[in-house]
Amino acid sequence: MARPTLAIYGIKDRNDYGRASFTHDHNLCLMENGKVLEYLQLERYSRFKYDNRLDLFLEELIDRKVLDLPSQFDFVSVNSFAGNAFISKSGRIRFEANRTKELATDLEEAFGWFETKKWKGWEIPSWNCSQELAHLGSCLPFYGEFKENSLLIHFDGGASLSNFSAFQFKNGKFKLLEAHWKLGFLSRFFNDNPLVFALMETQRGDHCSIPGKLMGYAALGQYDEKIAQWLHQHDYFKDYWNKPKELLRSINQHFGLSLANFDMKEAFFQNIAATFQGIFEEVLLENIYRLQKDTNTDYLYYSGGSALNIVANSRLVSEQQFQDVFIPPCCNDSGLSLGAASLLEFKKHGKVENHSPYLNSLGLKKEKELSYNENTIQELAQIIMQEGIVGICNGHGEIGPRALGNRSIIALPNSTEIAKKVSEECKGREWYRPIAPIMLASVAQKVTDQDVHELSKYMLLDFPIKEEFRADLAGVTHTNNTARIQAINHKDENPFMFDLLSFLYKNHGVKALINTSFNAGGEPIVHTGKEAIKSAKNMKLDAVIVNGELIRLKD
């Protein structure tokens, strides 16, 4: 019988160690026979946002049997541009691999050593997985084996040997098409661009949180070809760090303006943000369609942090250049250990089972099982109809950055005031950031008059909301009249949320609910029931659901 697989993404950054730097979202995954047994995004356990310190915690997790490893297992580590080697806090767990100059199309054998309270020390069968392949491998647990004649694209801020890589999957094998840093300028719009940071009025150390902010802010403006030309002429101002006056001087001189400072409510700055977004979309799609034309591929698998850009994703789906498009819910670095484990499991067994996105499980064994009845649904619906704001902490947490109903804050969707209270007062988010809805797929079809693509169940697409429904969805419709809908097709996808949404729609005509992640600003999403209750009290929520139990926090 084949051994289980333990995979880690734990390579630390060269600089700023202890902060959320350019390697972040450390995570681990244990799989057996193609099925996930345990998964953990480290920040959920450590309570340190974007945590990149797995080396400090791995021994602890094993010694305390939070991660209960079998007596034999295979080990795979995901590398990065920062290096190939991993060593734990006391040096009892080590991993080493040869540094390669060319991107591999398969896992590569490496050296691993484990010494814990359970074992005196032994060399363990180990593999090295490039970050590029791990990103793509994270599609396997949600979509099954790659379809024949598919184009596989990885695109993010930086992986092992590239920030953009492309493979063709044909005859059961990966063929490397290209891997390079040529599109580095594009991904840096969202994590490492001085002008963007000036526009967003934020600090360089906050680069992990910029992508979602810029996408939300860009929707306030309009693409402007003159701004695009100006950005290109100045190489997107990539070297203008800590030079806000020079940035303003260039803006004023080129466009004949007299702007004295950066102000996020200024329309011209909103147009700059929209132009950054527009350039990102055009260059990305141009490169993907070029590769499709060269290979005549039928399907697209797309992963990496850039695949969280819902506007670009929506174009990839709506323009129908591929028969279908597949993006995993954990397309950012949070899915790397899952992707690497899945690739090794597929290599060993020839299959990986299909999974729900609710995989953040490590450390939750002592939590009670989800249990609720119709009375719970009715009582919760009553709180919501009275404009209550409720936290949901059911079962295992979602893998990836998006809350999908198990670690969510929910409320009525028809009020901008409620949305503002949830976003700005409870969570401490910025005024321009949209709130997303969760709704039944049948309702989504009605309010958008579009086919509800499978990616919507992972909140990876946006949809235009029909004018007649915008008042009912005022709190979850962005300024450009779109909404980032999470659609639930079947009860087995999330029984609790399906029953709640069905009851509200049938009895009150409520078409959706606000659905935002269950965390205050700067904090990781809650993991345990105890954390959920504490966080709910701190955010002054009206109630919290913990594994189906309704706990009122206000009279």
Q: How far is the C-alpha of 186 from the C-alpha of 538, rounded, in Å?
A: 38
> Does residue 150 contact residue 142 with C-beta atoms inside 8 Å?
no
pLDDT at position 555, please? 64
Contacts of 350 (CB under 8 A, 6+ apart): none
Q: Which DSSP helix (H) or strand (E) runs through 78?
A: strand 74-78
Chosen CATH of 374-552 out of 3.40.50.720, 3.90.870.20, 2.10.10.90, 3.40.50.150: 3.90.870.20
Contacts of 291 (CB under 8 A, 6+ apart): 151, 153, 166, 177, 178, 297
> Does residue 328 contact residue 351 with C-beta atoms inside 8 Å?
no
Q: Where are the domains of the chain?
A: 5-135+332-349, 146-324, 374-552
> Does residue 395 contact residue 358 with C-beta atoms inside 8 Å?
yes
Q: How far is the C-alpha of 105 from the C-alpha of 172, rounded, in Å?
A: 12
126 phi/psi in degrees, rounded to 5? -135, 155
Residue 213 has pLDDT above 70, yes or no: yes
> Does residue 180 contact residue 383 with C-beta atoms inside 8 Å?
no
Q: How far is the C-alpha of 459 from the C-alpha of 275, rounded, in Å?
A: 24
pTM, to two decimals: 0.97
Q: How far is the C-alpha of 216 from the C-alpha of 538, rounded, in Å?
A: 26
Residue 472 has pLDDT above 60, yes or no: yes
DSSP string, 471-529: TTTTTT--TTSEE--EEE-SGGG-HHHHHHHHHHHHHH----EEEEESS-TTSPPP-SH
Residue 223 has pLDDT above 90, yes or no: yes
Residue 82 has pLDDT above 80, yes or no: yes
Mean pLDDT of 310-316: 97
Residue 195 Cα distances to 236, 265, 276, angstroms: 8, 16, 10
pLDDT at position 194, please? 95
Question: Smallest Cα–Cα separation from 424: which of 413, 436, 433?
Answer: 433
Residue predicted with more confidence, 473 or 2: 473
Q: How far is the C-alpha of 470 from the C-alpha of 477, rounded, in Å?
A: 7
Q: Which of 207-211, 239-243, 404-408 has the lowest mean pLDDT?
A: 207-211
Q: How far is the C-alpha of 49 from the C-alpha of 404, rounded, in Å?
A: 19
pLDDT at position 283, please? 98
Report the DSSP pairing between strands 549-552 and 299-303. Answer: unpaired
Question: Smallest Cα–Cα separation from 407: which of 460, 370, 452, 447?
Answer: 370
pLDDT at position 1, please? 62
DSSP string, 140-152: HHHH-SPPSSEEE
Is the domain defined by 146-324 classed in CATH 3.10.180.10?
no
Which residue in the block uniquely carries the two structure tokens 């940035």? Answer: 247
155 phi/psi in degrees, rounded to 5? -150, 120
Exposure string for 347-362, b = 16+ CB within 10 A, e = fewer: ebbeebeebbbbbbbb
Residue predicted with more confidence, 207 or 50: 50
